[in-house]
Structure 1
Amino acid sequence: MDPSVWLWLLSAALILAGLAGTILPALPGTALVLAGIALGAWIDDFTRVGGVTLTLVAVLAALAWVLDYVAGLMGARRVGASTEALIGAALGTVVGLFMGLVGVLFMPLVGAAVGEYIARRDHGQALKVGTATWLGMMLGMIAKVVLAFMMVGLFIVALVF
């Protein structure tokens, strides 16, 4: 079998793993998508997917990375979250990795709420901070998914046209 076929399969596998990683925090989603696209460009000797496309894709990847981290913080800070709430959200995310998709989606909320409760002993504020942090994280994840699909779309358009 032609070695380039294996490289194209690896490129596709990296892109698919990256798309999964936009939802699963254990995988560096947009970085894997970017790596798969860069590999695809390299396999084709950068003839169809050139520097401009790779630069646009890299900018989208960087934007997705920034949004992923900033969105949750913005949601938390908007409602006056404590440092303990932010630490709790981070710990909740790590714990959620071991609980499947439901854990990944909801443990940051629980962690932020518990952290805020420990800091202020106010149930209402803890729930408000937990919810705001979770909403910020979900909006960040949605933005990351959209940007990852835009990256793949640019790659496909460059390959085909």
Structure 2
Amino acid sequence: MGVLYWIIIAAMFVIAFAGLVFPIIPSVVFIVAGFLLYGFLFTFEHYSYMFWIVEGIFTAVLFAADYIANLLGVKRFGGSRAAIWGSTVGLLIGPFVIPVAGIILGPFIGALAGEMIVHKKDIKTAAKIGVGSLIGFISGVLAKSVIQLMMIGYFLWTVLY
């Protein structure tokens, strides 16, 4: 049964990584679900207050990384709040409107549309801001990947050693 339990816990972590490219999937929820499943299926004995504090800090950094990466990507290329909001909306609906490419095109198109509609920017300037949004998104995915790996690594270190 232990192997089956570990497969279920690992599945939670895999789903969390899917959430990096499908933002509708709440990555942190699945990572914490993996932690809680371990506790319920095996034992909570390994979890100290320090474990929850460290994982809580990782969680806060995870949320901040997503927001900051998008903000810096858009701002660095001259974008406004309209581009940030457009990028966020594009990120959420892009994968549903354009199934595979929507995860990349959604933030770009959203930022482009936000700048063109709200601030009446020309297509060239808006496209440059859209590229900034895309760079911010990719940077955020990379940063969140590292943070999630650290969260899972700390969990494994805690329960296995």
TM-score above 0.5: yes
CA 22–30 in structure 1, closer or farther in 2 if over 3 Å, else same: farther
Cα distance between partner residues in 1 of 2:141 and 2:29: 14
CA 34–101 in structure 1, closer or farther in 2 if over 3 Å, else same: farther
Q: TM-score, structure 2 length as denominator?
A: 0.84
Cα distance between partner residues in 2 of 1:106 and 1:157: 38
* Equivalent position of 2:147 in the other structure: 147
Instruction: State the shift of 1:133 in Å.
Output: 1.4
Cα distance between partner residues in 1 of 2:141 and 2:47: 27
Match status 1:59 vs 2:57: yes
Instruction: State the shift of 1:142 in Å.
Output: 0.7
Q: Percent identity?
A: 29
* Structure 1 SS opposite 2:91: helix
* Equivalent position of 1:82 in the other structure: 80
Q: How many residues align?
A: 159
In the TM superposition, 1:1-161 aligns within 5 A as 8-98=6-96, 99-118=98-117, 119-161=119-161
Q: What amino acid is the match of 2:140?
A: G
Instruction: State the shift of 1:138 in Å.
Output: 1.1
Q: TM-score, structure 1 length as denominator?
A: 0.84
Q: What amino acid is the match of 1:153?
A: G
Instruction: State the shift of 1:145 in Å.
Output: 0.8
Cα distance between partner residues in 2 of 1:101 and 1:73: 24
Q: What amino acid is the match of 2:111?
A: A
Please, what is the CA RMSD of the aligned residues?
2.2
Q: What amino acid is the match of 1:115?
A: G
Structure 2: tracts of 5 or more residues without a match: none
Contact residue 13 and residue 34 of structure 2 kept, 8 A: yes
Contact residue 97 and residue 103 of structure 1 kept, 8 A: yes
